[in-house]
Structure 1
Amino acid sequence: MDLRVNLGKDSYNIYIQQGLLDHLLEYLLPLCQGKQIMIISDDQVFSYYGQKIEEQLQSHYRVGHVILPHGEQSKRFDILPEIYHQLLSFHLTRTDAIIALGGGVIGDLAGFVASTFLRGIQLIQIPTSLLAQVDSSVGGKVAVDLPEGKNLVGAFKHPACVFIDPLTLKTLDQRYINDGMGEVIKYGCIFDKDLFQKLISYQSFEDLYQDIDEIIYRCVDLKRIVVEKDLLDFGDRLALNFGHTLGHAIEQYYHYETYSHGEAVSIGMYQLSLISEAKGLTQKGTANQIKKALDLYHLPSASHVPTQELKKAMALDKKNIHQKLNFVLLKEIGDCFIYPSDLSFIDESQEV
């Protein structure tokens, strides 16, 4: 299954195919015209796929790798100088390419490196987690974290191509399948009621896996449509932030150690929908439908953090413009809207 993101000179293809990593070279040869490729990955993912990919590429390219510890802590701003140093030591040039091999953390980090090193070099995304496959590898948003918050230093760097091999999901811990389902559920909530109903109809993860290629394709296609309409995240693309304003604040509060991104977004979607229902902005019972989906995929719905603590992080959110926030709310499942407000939208006496 193939898709094309039509962005003029920044257009690129997305390939979704089981076993795709076994045939990567034939796709890369027309794309990567330089003589060198640097793989940026983490210690877990590289141990599964690094040798296979390097052995393929070495017949045509000089190949190097930068391996980082897995987890959000590797997305720190202060880790960048060491990565740049390794690229310089490898003598990577502007005609060469970087492959981001990993989940959302690696995709964001390697993408930011590719956007800034030598003022920008070619980027290939190979997402290996469900969350990265359905969301973060597509759309060109790349970033690193500061102590004050998540993704506060970033850029728009579109890949030359995205290669999605759903077989990589077989090496994930179950928690990170659940994590990715947080973003899948988000797409159903904001855009596609039929997708949402399909997700809550499965009796087991085995049933879900049988349709995983189609589910990935649907989520990526929904994101493609939005990105083509709103490249720089000021209009329709804001809908993709459903649950994220609260979710990012929860991640930061726990120093990225307690909740994964998909888990934090899940809490954000449910809690924000409860607030919105109480204000009469969302159809009653919507939050309960979200919780049903979250429970089915073993995702949390509460973090038990006082909202006054979360507001400190939300005040620094990059979407907070002139002290205003655009909250993404649901009229009902599958129908979202943007609600301009400020931090007072969330009652400080509450816990989230």
Structure 2
Amino acid sequence: MKSIEVALGERSYPIYIDSGLIDRAGDMLTPVLGQAVVPIVTDPNVANHCDRLRASLDAAGIASEAIVLEPGEATKSWRVLERLCDRLLEMGIERSGHIIALGGGVIGDLTGFAAAILKRGCNFIQIPTTLLAQVDSSVGGKTAINTRAGKNLIGAFHQPARVLIDPTTLDTLPPREVGAGYAEIVKYGLIDDADFFAWCEAHGAALLAGDAEARAQAIAHSVAAKARIVGEDERETKGRRALLNLGHTFGHALEADTGFSDRLLHGEAVAAGIALAFAFSAEQDLCHAEDVARVAAHLRASGLPDGLAAAGVSASGAALVDHMRHDKKMEGGSLPFLLARGIGETFVANDVRLDTVAAFLDSRPR
């Protein structure tokens, strides 16, 4: 079993990675689960994994109750948050208690935010079941819901007590969902690890095809990279953690344009956003066209969109930039962009004009 720590002083926590971990969760969580009944927030898509988890808890003498929510991005809403909080309070959740989030990024984000605000903060445990959640959203303590104004605009930093990652959950994941998670893996190579991007080029196809060793290696590498960055800059105040947003400023605008729907999954939007960030960087004479082509080629080979046309987005540059104006990173009328000087050389640019971005987007193929 691989163990990685997110080093945050008194808020530090371990991340465990191993096949079959859900079936051993009861023994692993016994030392921290002290309440009479442990809530498991989940959705119907992972019913089999929920049965495995509850059986493991039961074998360890831990009672549990599943709170099953609707799948999909629309669940990250005020309406569902209220319903979830009411149910948790009915169950008598205490500040010292733990809530388990079992599912993808939607379940993790919503459950984490509920834990952050219930009784001014109680504990939660992440057991992510999608590749995207395993390598990204379950680590780092970002929790949120969406609003009509945009994605993740209501939320809090609230670290989990621990994270349990079982790669076998990916065996039941639709290929499209695996691909969406793979976009976040590629991101780590493009941020500051050119060698890992080269590894992705060599092994990405095997990972996407279900190779267990490639998946385990990529998950461990990605989690270690994120844990290191979060440990250095928990709340994005130093700029280091902002590097994890590569592709997200463009990507969130594409998600907003497609109504945060299954038309464009979050990871697919990030992939298209990464390609756009590199293309924009080249247009600003920051990186070579060869790097842009290399990134786009790998995204295409992985079945991911490499721009507006592939993402099915035909909105004008002005319309997409208008979505960006609602980005939570907006400050003083300025929005930081993640740009690149090359593969593995991402940086934060604070002097990008939004009208320049709009003109760039208008020039892209539809």
Specify the TM-score bucket, using the shorter chain as the normaliser. Answer: over 0.9
By how many angstroms is 1:207 displaced? 7.2
Name the residue aligned to 1:173: 174
Counterpart position of 1:305? 315
Which of 341, 354, 357 aligns to 1:346? It is: 357
| Mean Cα deviation higher: 201-210 or 117-126 | 201-210
Q: Is the 8 A contact 1:35 1:62 kept in 2?
A: yes
- Verify the 8 A CA contact 1:4 1:14 in the aligned structure 2: yes
Partner of 2:77: 76
Partner residue of 2:329 out of 312, 319, 322: 319
Corresponding position: 1:337 with 2:340: no
Q: Which consecutive unaligned segments of at least 5 residues does structure 1 have? A: none
1:268 to 270, 273, 279: 273
Which residue identity does 1:292 align to in structure 2? A
Distance in 1, matches of 2:358 and 2:150, equals 21
Corresponding residue for residue 287 of structure 2:
282
Corresponding residue number in structure 1 for 2:12? 11
* Equivalent AA in structure 2 for residue 264 of structure 1: A
Distance 1:207 1:80 in 2: 34
Deviates more, 1:10-19 or 1:293-302: 293-302
Matched, 1:252 2:259: no
**Aligned-partner residue type, residue 252 of structure 2:** H
Cα offset for 1:246? 0.8
> What is the deviation of 1:351?
4.3
Cα distance in 2, alignment partners of residues 12 and 33 from structure 1? 18
1:222 is the counterpart of 2:225: yes
> TM-score, normalised to structure 1's length?
0.96
Q: Distance in 1 between matches of 2:211 and 2:190?
A: 18
- Judge conservation of contact 1:140–1:158 (CA < 8 Å) in 2: yes
Residues 1:28 and 2:29 are matched in the alignment: yes
> How high is the sequence identity, in percent, across the aligned residues?
36
1:126 is displaced (CA, Å) by 0.2
- Aligned residue type for 2:298: A
Matches within 5 A, 1:81-100: 81-100=82-101
Contact kept? 1:272, 1:329, Cα under 8 Å: yes
How many residues align? The count is 351
Task: Give 4+ residue runs of structure 1 displaced > 6 Å after superposition.
Answer: none
Could you say what secondary structure the match of 2:322 adopts? Answer: helix
TM-score (norm 2): 0.92
Q: CA deviation at 1:245?
A: 0.5
Which residue is 1:139 aligned to?
Answer: 140
* Contact 2:255 2:266 survives alignment (8 Å): yes
Q: Which runs of 5+ in 2 are unaligned?
A: 309-313
Residue in structure 2 matched with residue 122 of structure 1 by the alignment: 123
CA distance in 1, matches of 2:295, 2:356: 20
Letter matched to residue 238 of structure 1: A
3-state DSSP class of the match of 1:200?
helix
Which moved further from structure 2: 32-41 or 261-270? 32-41
Question: Which of 231, 234, 242 in structure 1 is aligned with 2:234?
Answer: 231
Aligned to 2:55: 55
Q: Provide the secondary structure at the position in 2 that maps to 1:4.
A: strand
Q: Cα distance 1:89–1:207, how it changes in 2: closer, same or farther (>3 A)?
A: closer
Asked if the contact 1:282/1:329 (under 8 Å) is kept, the reply is no
What residue identity is the alignment partner of 2:329? K
